[in-house]
Amino acid sequence: MSDVDMLIRLLSAALLGSIIGLERERILWAAGIRTHMLVCVGSCLIMIVSQYGFANVLTEKNVVLDPSRIAAQVVSGIGFLGAGSILARGEIVKGLTTAASIWTVAAIGLAVGGGLYLPAAESTVIILIILAGIKPLEEAYRSRNQSCQLKIEVESGFLTPELLRDTLQLRASQVKRFLVESRGSQGADDLSVLISKVSSQDIASFAGKLNELDGVKSVTIVKRGKNSNANPT
């Protein structure tokens, strides 16, 4: 391979990596343009070395090499960089998509390094569609399938799981948790109920429906970690 061809491959890898990195930079992730460019160029260079770096050794007698061995290490080795972009805070995990984009950028770099320009360019377009185009659909789906927590103060023994489901028109599988803490001396119970796969419209109607019950004293709805509705009776 000529020096010009090698330079073209490295520059092509930098360009394709920067396109994907720009999308991550747009939403202010730490792994942005430069990170994706470096990963893509580095993978491209490793592929070039794997294919052509040992050409002189192969001329020796009884020498057999597997040109894929070095390039294969990119697939497993890039994991440490992807893991570094993942943040876990309690039950919330962020950065998985960026970690996946880093891993796929490494694959693009390997493809360019191997001279597969068309598959590399096609993969770049597909990845951009996944990162930017599919996100609105994902958010729309999640908005219709949210989870919320209800904190309800009721008269002692008044609200049962069956009555809750009938009042809110829920399936049994949607009620993930139903905890009761009794205030024996005050004749009241504090309920903590976790409900999944409900729409924003349903969540907005829960407080009104529960407050229509005579034994309910107050209702607080917690959605996505924020108090989104508090309706004391």
Could you tell me what percent of the chain has a pLDDT over 70? Answer: 85
Per mean pLDDT, which range of 48-62, 80-94, 137-151, 160-174 is the poorest? 80-94
List of domains in the chain: 3-133 (no CATH), 144-232 (3.30.70.1150)
- 23-56 pLDDT, tens digit per residue, is 777 766 666 788 888 888 888 888 888 887 777 7
Q: Could you give the CA distance from residue 152 to residue 169 in angstroms, rounded to a whole number?
A: 17
Q: What is the DSSP string of 97-152?
A: HHHHHHHHHHHHHHHHHTT-HHHHHHHHHHHHIIIIISHHHHHHHHHHSEEEEEEE
- 55-75 pLDDT, tens digit per residue, is 777 677 777 777 777 778 887
Name the token pair of 229. Answer: 């509705």
- Bridge partners of 152, per DSSP, are 191, 219
Which residue is it, tokens 């996100």?
Answer: 135
Could you tell me what percent of the chain has a pLDDT over 90? Answer: 6
